[in-house]
């Protein structure tokens, strides 16, 4: 699929200065989180909403999310950017051979926009041999959806802000940036770039920037004028959907709201933090299992030699060497009365989030 070959499309906006700008990225087809964050941020018709790409794929409510986003966009105050997971209209540029590769991908995933479109039309994707005939049907049935996806820009620019899904090369004008750079730059904040206007991106779950302490909250880098907001919704077990709040088009007085579905409990007994911790994360998660237990296993992170106990269900295989789910042994400093969201309940303690930061709590909850 010629995903990144197209011409870069930029949308210029002159937002009403009295209006709030809300920015949400990486909803990834998780409609309940999208509705939850809109409600928590108090989204109303006189706000401007920017959806900063990747509202589709990976979650389980793709068609419903797409339709919700289209309805908001039709209202005129919601502006949507194409992320690297949103350009499904590009299937119509594919050859029959590429169609079959796409079918293999859909079957492997077992979810996603095309999967849901098939099911909505009584087609079981697992039973298909070729995708090309189905593509013809979907093209007719979802004409509005395709034209909406086709209409999406790769970046939105105002006097003060640039919204792009993943990144930008500051050495080039916005138009000169390729679709690939705007939609698919990984780990933007590690590149040392600085920008004249504030660049607001999603795409790279912010927890991947942490090394010892894991936070899902937006990262606001005032020196380089970058704000990274992907809270790991759908992708991370302890993820959240963030909404950056810009009070008005000229303000730098940023704040944010975050939404997740974990049960909230109150800390009963205070806990001191422990100095040393490590975060094993996606892309660097190979561990050696030293002692496999039913609930926890003692593991050694191969690259660093750091040992920690990991929930056995987080290990991807039964072998001595295996990759694992993102995990940390960070022990959160907590006071009595602190509210925490409980991600995992174990026989030894709770894996919780406190103000967006994930860690362990070994005391009692109310």
Tokens, residue 1: 């699929």
Minimum distance of Mn ion from residue 102's CB (angstroms): 18
- Pick the closer one to Mn ion by CB: 54 or 116: 54
Asked whether position 84 contacts Mn ion by CB under 5 A, the answer is yes
In the complex with Mn ion, the residue whose CB is nearer, 52 or 338, is 52
Nearest distance, CB of residue 290 and Mn ion, angstroms = 35
Please report how the helices 113-120 and 62-74 are oriented relative to each other, as an axis angle in degrees rounded to 10. 100
Instruction: Tell me the helices (H) and strands (E) count for the chain, helix number first.
Output: 7, 22
Contacting range for Mn ion; rule: CB under 5 A; set: 52-60, 133-141, 322-330, 352-360: 52-60
CB of 129 to Mn ion, least distance (A): 31
| Least Cβ distance, residue 202 to Mn ion (angstroms) | 6
- Angle formed at CA 365 by CA 338 and CA 214, multiple of 5 degrees: 55
Candidate residues 15, 29, 36, 83; the one interacting with Mn ion per rule CB under 5 A: 83
Residue with tokens 């339709």: 67
CA dihedral 41, 43, 47, 52 (to 10 degrees): 70
Task: Give the dihedral of Cα atoms 197, 201, 207, 213; nearest 10 deg.
Answer: 10
Rounded distance, CA 172 to CA 174, Å? 6
From 77-85, 126-134, 280-288, 353-361, span contacting Mn ion (CB under 5 A): 77-85
One of 29, 43, 54, 145 touching Mn ion (CB under 5 A): 54
State which residue, 235 or 315, has the beta carbon closest to Mn ion: 235
Cα separation, 230 vs 204, in Å, equals: 6
Q: How many residues bind Mn ion (CB under 5 A)?
A: 4
Nearer to Mn ion, 89 or 203 (CB): 203
Looking at beta carbons, which residue is closest to Mn ion? 203
Choose between 183 and 326: whose C-beta lies nearer to Mn ion: 183
Residue 51: its H or E element: strand 48-51
86: contact with Mn ion by CB under 5 A? no
Cα diameter, the chain = 62
The Cα–Cα gap between 188 and 186 comes to: 6
Helix (H, G, I), strand (E, B) or coil at 256: strand
Closest approach, Cβ 105 to Mn ion, in A, equals 16
User: Considering beta carbons, is residue 27 or 63 the nearer one to Mn ion?
Assistant: 27
Binding site for Mn ion (CB under 5 A): 54, 83-84, 203
């Amino acid at each position: 699929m010629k995903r990144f070959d197209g011409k870069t499309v930029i949308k210029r906006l002159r937002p009403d200065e009295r209006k709030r700008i809300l920015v949400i990225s990486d909803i990834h087809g998780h409609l309940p989180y999208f509705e939850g964050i809109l409600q928590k941020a108090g989204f109303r018709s006189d706000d401007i909403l920017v959806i900063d790409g990747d509202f589709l794929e990976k979650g389980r409510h793709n068609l419903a999310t797409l339709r919700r986003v289209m309805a908001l966009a039709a209202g005129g105050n919601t502006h949507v950017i194409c992320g690297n997971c949103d350009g499904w209209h590009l299937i119509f540029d594919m050859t029959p051979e590429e169609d079959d590769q796409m079918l293999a991908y859909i079957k492997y995933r077992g979810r996603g926009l095309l999967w849901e479109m098939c099911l909505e039309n009584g087609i079981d994707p697992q039973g298909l041999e070729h995708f090309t005939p189905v593509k013809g049907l979907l093209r007719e049935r979802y004409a509005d959806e395709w034209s909406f996806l086709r209409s999406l820009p790769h970046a939105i620019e105002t006097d003060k802000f640039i919204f792009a899904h993943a990144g930008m090369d500051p050495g080039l004008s916005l138009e000169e940036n390729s679709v690939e750079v705007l939609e698919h730059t990984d780990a933007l904040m590690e590149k040392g770039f600085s920008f004249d206007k504030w660049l607001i991106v999603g795409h790279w779950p912010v927890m991947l920037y942490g090394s010892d302490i894991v936070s899902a909250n937006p990262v606001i880098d005032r020196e380089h004028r970058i704000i990274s907001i992907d809270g790991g919704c759908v992708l991370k077990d302890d993820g959240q959907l963030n909404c950056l709040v810009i009070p008005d088009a000229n303000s730098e007085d940023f704040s944010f709201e975050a939404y997740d579905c974990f049960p909230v409990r109150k800390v009963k007994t205070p806990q001191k933090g422990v100095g040393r911790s490590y975060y094993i994360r996606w892309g660097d998660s190979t561990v050696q299992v030293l002692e496999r237990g039913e609930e926890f296993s003692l593991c050694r992170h191969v690259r660093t030699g750091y040992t920690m106990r990991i929930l056995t269900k987080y290990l991807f295989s039964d072998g001595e060497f295996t990759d694992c789910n993102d995990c940390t042994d960070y022990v959160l400093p907590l006071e009595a009365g602190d509210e925490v969201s409980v991600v995992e309940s174990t026989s030894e303690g709770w894996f919780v989030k406190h103000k967006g930061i994930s860690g362990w709590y070994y005391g009692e909850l109310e």
